[in-house]
């Protein structure tokens, strides 16, 4: 047992005492620079944000959702309400009209929104993660002032376009081209599997450069859907996220001014990869919301449904499935809280984000599978929500890096074939500077 009277009572004295005992010399500067300790307790502000996202899910997403999902009908009105509630600008600094909360809060919003339905979290992923945060990371001050206020308030909606019919996991084999013509680029090509394709007012797209001396021939642009030569078309018949809009984008001799280019010529692939650092974070945190939703439904059902005179929750094999879901939720939260903390500190987090996305999406699909199992035949119908969780969670193992891509990335990091170098352009750390 620790003898308490051996330690000085004041925590600062305790720190000095521990340093002395460990043989550390007194330093004039803090030993760990600007990095603050990882803290798993949520602040009052974060708890409030989590609570308001939960209530939004209950009051503004769930009513009518089952019917919309059955009818493959998306709800643009819900996106407007998300903007009004401030979620679309949750981690955008106040000087760009955002809520100015930290990046852990972004994860909490994604978790609670996806607890209601994946469609709302998908909108967070593309609008906030892949588009707005990438603009925060790579945009010039003029570009941020031009676009971020409308995005942070939801006055405008945004999407992201990397994937093409022949460029999925192999993101570098893009065929969409940007050809320089005076002050403009002429863009031709096609993107597919684009969330909010029919709704977004603007898209961050990645193209190949037709003529360039850059080592990596890619460039990123923010394009407006009203630009002549732009069109979109919805994709029908999806397995999941049926109440969300997904489609294709087409660019035909679309002229885009060079001041809409994000980053330099040659930066396009890096812009895309850093966008995925933000998008994958929102997917990883949202996946925990699916696990929680599976638990909500399964615990209720296991307590209400009786077999042989007792609730099925008393059956050990059902308990095993519940316990496994709890494990997924708790591990998942720790993984995404860590990535949120790293974003707050301004640390590179590609490896940790890939790990969180990979682990949490697999755990969410497993939880949904178990939730269907617990519900038996009822779980196989849309009378209960678990079949929707099952279909929605499958998609997250494909988009924003397939399960296999993340498996390979994790192995490559461990084997020393892949490392995360310091970045030239970093996401602003939290607290934001004025
Ligand atoms: N931030 C900044 N720069 C980065 C970066 C990051 N996160 N990751 C890599 N880079 C840089 C590297 O440092 C490197 O730069 P140098 O040449 O100067 O060294 C350059 O980018 C190339 O990086 P890599 O060598 O790591 O690239 P790679 O070819 O090995 O990448 C891959 C392979 C990891 C599999 C990558 O192609 C990949 O992630 N593929 C999956 C694509 C994906 O997730 N698509 C999802 C589309 S979005 C979507 O689905 C959303 C939706 O709407 C549904």
Q: Which atom of ligand 1 is nearest to the CA of 170?
A: 37
Q: For residue 367, give its domain range.
A: 273-415
Residues 381, 387, 308: CA angle, nearest 5 degrees: 65
Residues belonging to the chain: 434
Residue 187 within a domain: yes
Give the DSSP per-residue string, 380-407.
Answer: GSTTSTHHHHHHHHHHTTTTTS-HHHHH
Nearest-CA residue for ligand 1 atom 23 is 270
Q: Are residues 298 and 402 in the same domain?
A: yes
Q: Are residues 75 and 168 in the same domain?
A: no
| CA 176 to ligand 1 center in whole angstroms | 17
Residue 337 within a domain: yes
Q: Are residues 253 and 227 in the same domain?
A: yes
Q: How would you write the pLDDT of the chain (434 residues) with one tens digit per residue?
A: 333 343 334 433 333 333 344 433 333 333 445 678 888 899 999 999 999 999 999 999 999 999 999 999 999 999 999 999 999 999 999 999 999 999 999 999 999 999 999 999 999 999 999 999 999 999 999 999 999 999 999 999 999 999 999 999 999 999 999 999 999 999 999 999 999 999 999 999 999 999 888 889 999 999 999 999 999 999 999 999 999 999 999 999 999 999 999 999 999 999 999 999 999 999 999 999 999 999 999 999 999 999 999 999 999 999 999 999 999 999 999 999 999 999 999 999 999 999 999 999 999 999 999 999 999 999 999 999 999 999 999 999 999 999 999 999 999 999 999 999 999 999 999 999 97
pLDDT the model gives residue 39: 85
364-389: b (≥16 Cβ within 10 Å) or e: bbbbbbbbbebbeeebeeeebbbbbb
Residue 71 within a domain: yes
Q: Are residues 300 and 405 in the same domain?
A: yes
Q: Which atom of ligand 1 is nearest to the CA of 215?
A: 17
Q: Which of 124, 129, 267, 270 most suits a substitution to test ligand 1, by most atoms within 8 Å of the C-beta? A: 270
Q: Which residues line ligand 1 (CB under 6 A)?
A: 126, 160, 162-163, 169, 171-172, 193-195, 269-270, 273-274, 276-277, 350, 399-401, 405, 409, 421, 423
Q: Are residues 176 and 239 in the same domain?
A: yes
Strands 202-209 and 177-181, by their bridges, are parallel
Supply the pTM of this predicted model. 0.93
| CA 397 to ligand 1 center in whole angstroms | 17
Q: Are residues 142 and 241 in the same domain?
A: no
Q: Which of 125, 161, 171 most suits a substitution to test ligand 1, by most atoms within 8 Å of the C-beta? A: 171
| CA 51 to ligand 1 center in whole angstroms | 34
- CATH code (residue 114): 1.10.540.10
State which of 236, 268, 300 marks the end of a domain.
268
Which residues participate in catalysis according to the annotation? 400
- CATH code (residue 293): 1.20.140.10
Q: Are residues 73 and 203 in the same domain?
A: no
Residues 123, 324, 112: CA angle, nearest 5 degrees: 25
State which of 136, 156, 176 marks the end of a domain.
156
Q: Which residues pair with 262 in a beta bridge?
A: 220
| CA 352 to ligand 1 center in whole angstroms | 14
- CATH code (residue 261): 2.40.110.10
pLDDT the model gives residue 23: 39
User: How many domains are contained in the chain?
Assistant: 3
């Amino acid at each position: 047992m620790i003898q308490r009277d051996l330690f000085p009572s004041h925590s600062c004295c305790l720190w000095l005492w521990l340093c002395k005992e460990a043989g550390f010399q007194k330093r004039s500067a803090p030993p760990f620079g600007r990095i603050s300790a990882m803290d798993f307790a949520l602040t009052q502000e974060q708890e409030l944000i989590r609570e308001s996202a939960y209530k939004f899910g209950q009051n503004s997403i769930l009513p009518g959702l089952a019917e919309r999902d059955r009818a493959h009908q998306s709800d643009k009105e819900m996106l407007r309400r998300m903007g009004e509630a401030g979620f679309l600008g949750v981690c955008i600094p106040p000087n760009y009209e955002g809520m100015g909360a930290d990046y852990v809060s972004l994860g909490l919003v994604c978790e609670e929104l996806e607890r209601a339905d994946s469609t709302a979290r998908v909108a967070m992923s593309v609008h906030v993660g892949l588009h707005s945060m990438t603009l925060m990371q790579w945009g010039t001050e003029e570009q941020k002032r031009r676009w971020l206020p409308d995005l942070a308030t939801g006055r405008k909606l945004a999407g992201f376009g990397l994937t093409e019919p022949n460029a999925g996991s192999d993101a570098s084999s893009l065929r969409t081209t940007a050809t320089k013509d005076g002050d403009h680029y002429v863009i031709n090509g096609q993107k597919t599997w684009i969330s909010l394709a029919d709704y977004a007012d603007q898209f961050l797209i990645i193209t190949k450069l037709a003529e360039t001396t850059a080592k990596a021939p890619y460039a990123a642009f923010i394009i407006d859907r009203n630009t002549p030569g732009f069109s979109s078309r919805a994709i029908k018949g999806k397995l999941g996220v049926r109440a969300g809009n997904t489609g294709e984008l087409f660019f035909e001799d679309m002229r885009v001014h060079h001041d809409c280019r994000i980053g330099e010529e040659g930066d396009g692939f890096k812009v895309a990869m850093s966008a995925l650092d933000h998008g994958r974070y929102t997917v990883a945190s949202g996946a925990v919301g699916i696990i929680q939703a599976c638990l909500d439904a399964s615990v209720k059902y296991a307590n209400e449904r009786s077999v042989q005179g007792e609730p099925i929750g008393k059956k050990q094999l059902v308990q095993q499935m519940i316990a496994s879901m709890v494990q997924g939720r708790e591990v998942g939260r720790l993984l995404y809280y860590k990535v949120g903390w790293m974003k707050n500190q301004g640390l590179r987090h590609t490896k940790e984000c890939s790990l969180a996305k990979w682990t949490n999406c697999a755990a969410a699909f497993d939880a949904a599978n178990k939730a269907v199992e617990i519900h038996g035949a009822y779980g196989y119908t849309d009378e209960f929500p678990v079949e929707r969780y099952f279909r929605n969670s499958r998609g997250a193992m494909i988009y924003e890096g397939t399960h296999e891509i993340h498996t390979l990335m994790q192995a490559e990091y461990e084997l020393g074939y892949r490392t995360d170098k310091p970045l030239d352009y970093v996401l602003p750390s939290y607290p934001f500077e004025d």
